[in-house]
Structure 1
């Protein structure tokens, strides 16, 4: 059977001119130097949602360092930690008959262990029970008090213990039992009436709306549009109660100068971002933070937090990434249903890189994602074990690559001897820019999909060209033998380049796998940066040796 190859001719001078680093298209100002997850409430042990938020922020942090390697640990911040005050914590500890400090220590340590096990690159792990944080909270309180933004008043309304917030009338409904329920969270509400300290949120309404409309970059866009619509449905921002009476809450930071009141847990928690920078002992050098939040806490980070910063005359966040939630078999996770996913078990079963890959590949920030154990296995087997792993095995096999070399081939040679690969080359040459845009928008799933498409395309070339037939030399036909060896060399070069480039682009997603590939291909660290995610952009001029040690990228799950 005669096979006719068709391809779209791409001038090689265009391919070469397109090999630009992200700096050609994007300013370094678009990559923040301070990434912050919300600090996680210790009323219970961590679940898969906590892991997703932190891995998502970690991928953004690693992506920044990869693009601009001078942003090392001394010039970038990635903070996470635990929120340990409030009524829910108090009730959780009491229900278990455990001392409050001991309870917080136990749960906080589980969060830290999880983030370590998941290979996250956090630079700061903060706890709101830290003495330094308490000082920062009380200091900011005094600043806002001195500026006239805090006053004492009788405050009443329906309060959600679960959400640790008063709920406005327009977000309250009544269930079949006649109980008041929060429309946003579905949690039961209780009526509270007491004297509190109140923050003058109403005075900052216009400035907050202007920031949301004209200055905030929020990804994905659907949440930004929803936020804009929501603030227009609120006719007037109501002044915010920012303290609680000790008659019903004993666990928190005391209001300066008033030992009958504790500071509202959300004021306390949001200030952690300032604590991380060393404020108020020094003005924040890396500021403002880029926030990574779940869709259920938009109000706190996009209305309350900027209001506190405006009142303190501090710069507001410029970029916020918001993500949706995870379902289990299309159902909301809950303890009563017994379908809460244990992230520690996931890491043990699928490895840290494996669960990172699945969460970032299947997690769609703009809409809820579905978690299913079979889906995890199918995804990891098909993409990491088969597509990625199979390609590496093919081009490093003793049969096709007996010299265990990383050959050097020019693009001119590829055009001449491997013309059927030109569409694939064209795709690879634009891959880093496509991934850059996707990652910058927080859409890791799009970037990962493009990388996998590249690897599948190379695997397709193997199936099409069938290089294993080149190993058997034709007697008395040196011309054919020479041509086959040149085609094989071109294919090996293109395959190894696609693996090297993919390892760079997937480094924020699967850092351990990427590191093992660089070691296998004998790629020095200086050429593992984002700007080298282009064909023949590693300044290699001669064939290189690769490690003879067999590498299994990902062991297939059974």
Structure 2
């Protein structure tokens, strides 16, 4: 699936690997040696489905009289058992300092307040389970009757053996950005940083939390048979990049859950890609506006300066500001805002063409309008590369711009997206492929075997 969606990664780790098991046990032993792990007895509520202990304040009684967790609505039971605890209370003040630090960027900021509130009444965390009940877990070192709590185990996937031995000084930690689903914030913003503090490893400073995808405002569930299959989405929407675009355009990067509505998706793709971008490319490369499939050189364009108008300066100012706004959106992990900026620029170009009516103008005036417009398309396509990498390269190549792969390899996006950086005397074929319109919205939602 990663390869199909053109997503690259450096490392893919499984919590079932032998290496991971050794790392988890090594982390456990280091914490135990430092006095942060001790054996005690837990008495309270336990959720078997979630494999977690639940504080009294997070329990409610449903209409059937069953006690359940507020977070997952799953049943809980009273339990008394021997367990190992992680002494998170000894790190409470340091965790509070980290959460309150101006250097710790948690987005949305409301989660900072939520975590501080949870930390205030947080008790030491049970980090083991009896092997008689959870036999599939990683064994606790030197205690064969216990296995390690699954979330302590899972968090250690960020480590590797060399990482632990070096105290986190491997050149890749802390991360410049950590992206989390909203349902695992407590583990990553309380338990995980506490483990790092105890191991004297640097803490992350930039954490972004996102909501969930829904289908028609209902949470995806295998039992409801409403889980979207990404492979089927590609078949419905005809190209993997259109699926990437749809997910970014609709998938708000903030806390809010987003509902995947097929009708809205098709309408948005037709509006943005088929109409705003696709039709613009067709107009600019048509024989009416580009009778000779070649853009003028800089020298030729300079000779036409006396035919330039105020509208040309205005569209140039718009296009010169596109890259900085898009780059800021990507830096802030707001790719949907990058799309908004790119589409606004294309709308401005379309309006510029409509107002100038180059098909009625002199040859010189027509060349100026087409040159400015295609320059704008080039800039916009460059900014959309992170979202539509395959389609971007394809369209730029068709527009006679053959150096974009080098731009990507050298990370020279700012230079490429500058105004007036197109190669002189560019050939523009009159066979630029447009985005196909999705005529009828797909209505069936297919189960994806997760």
Give the alignment's TM-score, normalised by structure 1.
0.72
Structure-2 separation of matches of 1:304 and 1:171: 18
Partner of 2:389: 511
**What's the offset of the Cα at 1:253?**
1.3
Partner of 1:269: 154
Partner of 1:287: 173
Superposed, 1:413-424 pairs within 5 Å as 416-424=307-315
Structure-1 separation of matches of 2:222 and 2:302: 57
Partner of 2:376: 498
**What's the offset of the Cα at 1:236?**
2.9
Partner of 1:205: 92
* The one of 414, 433, 436 aligned to 1:531: 414
Structure-2 separation of matches of 1:465 and 1:219: 47
Partner of 2:236: 349
Indicate yes or no: 2:212 matched with 1:331: no
Partner of 2:442: none
Contact 1:329/1:370, CA 8 A, preserved across alignment? yes
Indicate yes or no: 2:213 matched with 1:361: no
Structure-2 separation of matches of 1:537 and 1:160: 62
Superposed CA deviations along residues 267-296 of structure 1, whole A, max 9, x for unmatched, are 111111112x84236542211122111111
**What's the offset of the Cα at 1:424?**
2.5
| Residues 191/463 of structure 1: CA separation in 2 closer, same or farther (3 Å cut) | same
Structure-1 separation of matches of 2:133 and 2:389: 47
Structure-2 separation of matches of 1:504 and 1:217: 32
Contact 2:107/2:207, CA 8 A, preserved across alignment? no
* The one of 357, 371, 374 aligned to 1:466: 357
Structure-2 separation of matches of 1:500 and 1:138: 53
**What's the offset of the Cα at 1:233?**
5.3
* The one of 394, 412, 415 aligned to 2:283: 394
Partner of 2:80: 193
**What's the offset of the Cα at 1:306?**
0.2
Contact 1:324/1:368, CA 8 A, preserved across alignment? yes
Structure-1 separation of matches of 2:92 and 2:212: 29
Superposed, 1:364-383 pairs within 5 Å as 364=252, 365-383=254-272
* The one of 437, 444, 457 aligned to 2:335: 444
Partner of 1:236: 121
- 2:268 is paired with a residue whose SS is helix
| Residues 458/254 of structure 1: CA separation in 2 closer, same or farther (3 Å cut) | same
**What's the offset of the Cα at 1:135?**
1.4
Partner of 1:50: none
| Residues 547/135 of structure 1: CA separation in 2 closer, same or farther (3 Å cut) | farther
- 1:327 is paired with a residue whose SS is strand
| Residues 133/229 of structure 1: CA separation in 2 closer, same or farther (3 Å cut) | closer
Contact 2:107/2:209, CA 8 A, preserved across alignment? yes
Structure-2 separation of matches of 1:216 and 1:228: 16
Partner of 1:90: none
Superposed CA deviations along residues 72-109 of structure 1, whole A, max 9, x for unmatched, are xxxxxxxxxxxxxxxxxxxxxxxxxxxxxxxxxxxxxx
Partner of 1:252: 137
**What's the offset of the Cα at 1:495?**
1.6
**What's the offset of the Cα at 1:316?**
0.4
Superposed CA deviations along residues 164-184 of structure 1, whole A, max 9, x for unmatched, are 322222211111112122112
Give the alignment's TM-score, normalised by structure 2.
0.88
CA RMSD after TM alignment? 2.3
Contact 2:96/2:119, CA 8 A, preserved across alignment? no
Larger RCO of the pair (alpha carbons < 8 Å, separation 6+): 1
Contact 1:244/1:261, CA 8 A, preserved across alignment? yes
Structure-1 separation of matches of 2:303 and 2:41: 79
What runs of 5+ residues in structure 2 fail to find an aligned partner?
440-450
Aligned residues: 427
Contact 2:128/2:140, CA 8 A, preserved across alignment? yes
Structure-2 separation of matches of 1:120 and 1:170: 41
Indicate yes or no: 2:307 matched with 1:428: no
| Residues 406/163 of structure 1: CA separation in 2 closer, same or farther (3 Å cut) | farther
* The one of 197, 200, 208 aligned to 1:313: 200
Partner of 2:56: 169
Contact 2:296/2:367, CA 8 A, preserved across alignment? yes
**What's the offset of the Cα at 1:539?**
6.4
Superposed, 1:27-176 pairs within 5 Å as 114-176=1-63
Superposed CA deviations along residues 381-418 of structure 1, whole A, max 9, x for unmatched, are 11111111111222222332233224345689669524
- 1:170 is paired with a residue whose SS is helix
Contact 1:328/1:371, CA 8 A, preserved across alignment? yes
Contact 1:152/1:198, CA 8 A, preserved across alignment? yes
Structure-1 separation of matches of 2:262 and 2:110: 34
**What's the offset of the Cα at 1:260?**
1.4
Superposed CA deviations along residues 148-172 of structure 1, whole A, max 9, x for unmatched, are 1111111233223343322222211
Superposed, 1:7-22 pairs within 5 Å as none
Contact 1:213/1:228, CA 8 A, preserved across alignment? no
